[in-house]
Amino acid sequence: MVYDTKEEMESVLGAFENNTFILQQNEEFNSFANQVKELLLKR
């Protein structure tokens, strides 16, 4: 779906900053990125 403005999108979907799914995905990504860094440092 396409929205005319960010405000319209947030009124329908809610703010991404408060979206628990987005927050969880960011946390999982950061954990994965740290694991990759640790593995690369062990080489």
Asked if 3 and 12 count as a contact pair (C-beta separation under 8 A), the reply is: yes
To which residue do tokens 């999982």 refer?
28
Asked if 9 and 3 count as a contact pair (C-beta separation under 8 A), the reply is: yes
End-to-end CA distance of the chain: 46
Angstrom distance (rounded) from CA 26 to CA 16: 11
Q: What average pLDDT does the segment 4-20 reach?
A: 94
pLDDT of res. 32: 98
Q: What is the pLDDT of residues 14-42, one digit of tens each?
A: 998 999 999 999 999 999 999 999 999 99
pLDDT of res. 43: 82
- Number of helices (H) and strands (E) in the chain: give both, helices first: 2, 0
pTM: 0.68
